[in-house]
Chains A and B, each alone.
Chain A
Amino acid sequence: MLDKFIKGLHRTREAFKSRFDFLFGNKEINQEFFDELEEILLTADVGVETTAKIIDSLGKRLREAKIRERSPAREILKELLVEILEADHKTGLSLAPAPPTVFLILGVNGVGKTTTIAKMAYRFTREGKKVLLAAGDTFRAAAIEQLDEWSGVVGAGIIKHQSGGDPSAVMYDAVSAAVARNVDILICDTAGRLHTKTNLLEEIKKIYRVINKSLQDAPHEILLVLDATTGQNAVAQARYFQEAVPISGLILTKLDGTARGGIVIAVKDLTGIPLKLVGVGEKKEDLQAFNASEFIEALLS
């Protein structure tokens, strides 16, 4: 029984290759079309709820525009998805009117927070900005060393305490140092934490309070890092973190793999948090500003 099952799986996989031509070829729009579209969205991790919504609105728009052919439907679908991702137009990083700008980076374990911070720092140092990193992951073994190594590579300063120390104290020192040293950008690393651990969410709230008290209007962005391979749990992650602190944007990492990262559509749809940056590789320059139209193009092809 299991063998048969696995064989079936291979067959469907092979069939998948020619699917897109089929979906948007010169044929009429019927139930089959919507079924295929559902499959494309679900397999990109868009999720059951948001997929249903997208298919509903697409159907409505197609009826309104009296479109019966598949080829023009593609553009309408693309428009619709870009609209979801770009609603509110808050996709760029906001900087403080006067330096330093403080970015606080959060996320569950293993999504790539530290590497992302290094890439962000590299972007800013290359622009000639003075960048400082706060080694706020005092929990994971060697996390401080990891950030320290990166700081040397990308040419940023670093404020660090001993492993096991209080991350809020690191943040306090980092903000003070950023002000004293006329730093342009301060990027704060935090330990990976599952969103279900109440005490760790309390710790994040404290970190936020300490930064906010040390510098008015800081942090200027609180960015949640999501792994593109993550499934529906990312929505729960966004919701729990959002409850603790005002998350202002998402960073989607590991888009260089085979995962299409459709989960950000669900997260935007269900929590309103916009995607701002995407990680597309392991090198320090592999971080890009998010472009909704390109992203959707890749998701659908």
Chain B
Amino acid sequence: MLFSSLSEKLQETFRRLKGKGKLTEKDVDLALREVRLALLEADVNYKVVKNFISLLKERTLGTEVLKSLTPGQQVVKIVYEELVRLMGETQSKLAPLDNPPRALMMVGLQGSGKTTTAAKLASLLQKNGYRPLLVAADVYRPAAIRQLEVLGKETGIAVFSMGKDDPVKIALQALKEAEREGNDYVILDTAGRLHINKELMAELSSLKEKIKPLEILLVVDAMTGQDAVNAAQAFHEQLGLTGVILTKLDGDTRGGAALSVRAVTNCPIKFVGVGEKIDAFEPFYPDRMASRILGMGDMLSLIEKAQQVVDEEKSRALEKKLRGQSLTLEDFLEQLQQVKQMGPLENLLEMIPGFNKAAKQFKNISLDEKQLVRSEAIISSMTKKERLQPEIINSSRRRRIAMGSGTTVQDVNRLLKQFDQMKKILKQVGSLEKGKIKHRGIFPF
């Protein structure tokens, strides 16, 4: 999961700082060294890190830290603030649509995910009541046009293509077509290209010139390393980007490229791709991302995600239970049923502050699909009382449950053990959280 290791590292560093009454310059250097290494491991560009650290040092060494009562918290606050600032402060939307139809140009390196992203963006716009038109302007990669057509068919969005013609001609024709058909957003899927390929970069410039796009969006693979700055800078210098879309955030990359690209282009990250399905596409929230980097969790995302499948009340109750350790098998069952719609439990847990480590342990309790179905059957075969007080489940009850669910006693044992482990982990995290309440400050460290 994105940034998880980074947040663990920072948390560790700041836990060390927390014990101190006052910070010496040496302490600050030590903490910033950790921040530096963590950022580098997260693939934030070397120079971006260097500048970020010296900026942090300048601020932390000022009087505000040394004279403050809780210096550790103050450092966290500064790092958080600077990260939020670096990533753009507020959530950034598409530019307002004037005089439709207007073009949105998707550009980027090969394999960054432009075609899939074009379809995802179109689908999102359609859901919001717009009438997008997808345009197949990648005339180089074999079967790229066909790929967009298939995606268009899947989503019910019109796709304009003219085969392997000149991209500028295709785009101009597409705009005419959009005018006729009453489309508002015209999404151009351009071919992937290297930022150092002069000829192909010139093609994009002339495309920009002729169609005057509403937005030029750079599609960036979240797993990109140090080179992210070079590509982003070159695209920005030649085209004047208006925004960035980060893809493949559903992996375990720490996504430092997000920071790097933002730093060199000063363009907002507008959306993120979080999976292969068409609806795995979300707005980018800089403040949430910064919170996540600092291990402050992503409560907002969690709650929003839960709201999509359960009502608000239920999700609040679940969150309370997760925190209060009063989790029963009943909740576990409900959770299992929602997991299918919400995505894996471990992902949900990672969004809760302090749960990063716990979530890692959950990975050992792998929750694959088949096991989910089996677990559901087992819990469904329990009585209400058994679900609330699993400790009463003796061997004869186990046999009955196994028979009822079409599983074996071993399966039942495994489930009960898993549940027990889960409770234990939650308890650990819960007591950690309680400990934090004592040193209540601006941040829960």
Contacts and interface: CB of A to CB of B under 8 A. Distances in A.
A56 interface: no
A298 B149 CA distance: 41
A257 to B, nearest CB: 5
Interface string A245-280: 000000000101111100100000000000000000
Contacts of A39: 46
Contact of A199 (B196, B250, B254, B368): B368
Given A227-B111, A231-B226, A149 B263 contact: no
B368 A198 contact: yes
A112 B110 contact: yes
B41 A1 contact: no
B226 A43 contact: yes
Given A145-B142, A198-B366, A229-B231, A257 B194 contact: yes
Contacts of B63: none
A257 B231 contact: yes
Contacts of B228: 229, 231
A127 to B, nearest CB: 23
Given A6-B266, A149-B143, A230 B223 contact: yes
A110 B221 contact: yes
Interface string B309-327: 0000000000000000000
Interface string B99-137: 000000000011111000000000000000000000000
Interface string B244-266: 00001011111011000001101
Given A45-B225, A229-B109, A229-B225, A258 B231 contact: yes
A130 B263 CA distance: 50
B248 A108 contact: yes
Contacts of B45: 43
Contacts of A45: 43, 225-227
Interface in B283-318: none
B55 interface: yes
A254 B110 contact: yes
Contacts of A196: 250-252
B210 interface: no
B147 interface: yes
B169 to A, nearest CB: 22
Interface residues of B, number: 60
Interface in B153-208: 154, 194-196
Contacts of A141: 146-148, 150-151, 154
B39 to A, nearest CB: 10
A45 B149 CA distance: 37
B53 to A, nearest CB: 11
Interface string A145-161: 11011100000000000
A9 B231 contact: no
A142 B147 contact: yes
B51 interface: yes
A42 interface: yes
A5 to B, nearest CB: 5
Contact of A146 (B50, B143, B256): B143
Contacts of A282: 110
B319 to A, nearest CB: 25
B139 interface: no
A111 B109 CA distance: 11
Contact of A232 (B42, B196, B250, B276): B42
A44 B161 CA distance: 39
Contacts of B221: 110, 227, 229-230
Nearest to B88: A2
B226 A48 contact: no
Interface of A: 1-2, 5-6, 8-9, 12-13, 39, 42-45, 47-48, 108-112, 139-143, 145-146, 148-150, 163, 194-196, 198-199, 202, 227-234, 236, 254, 256-260, 263, 282
Interface of B: 37, 40-43, 45-48, 50-52, 54-55, 85-86, 109-113, 141-144, 146-151, 154, 194-196, 221, 223-231, 248, 250-254, 256-257, 263-264, 266, 276, 366, 368-369
Which are the 3 A-B pairs with shortest beta-carbon distances? Answer: A231-B225, A110-B111, A231-B43
16 contacts: A2-B85, A5-B86, A42-B40, A45-B226, A108-B251, A141-B154, A143-B143, A199-B369, A227-B111, A229-B221, A230-B224, A231-B256, A233-B251, A254-B109, A254-B194, A260-B227
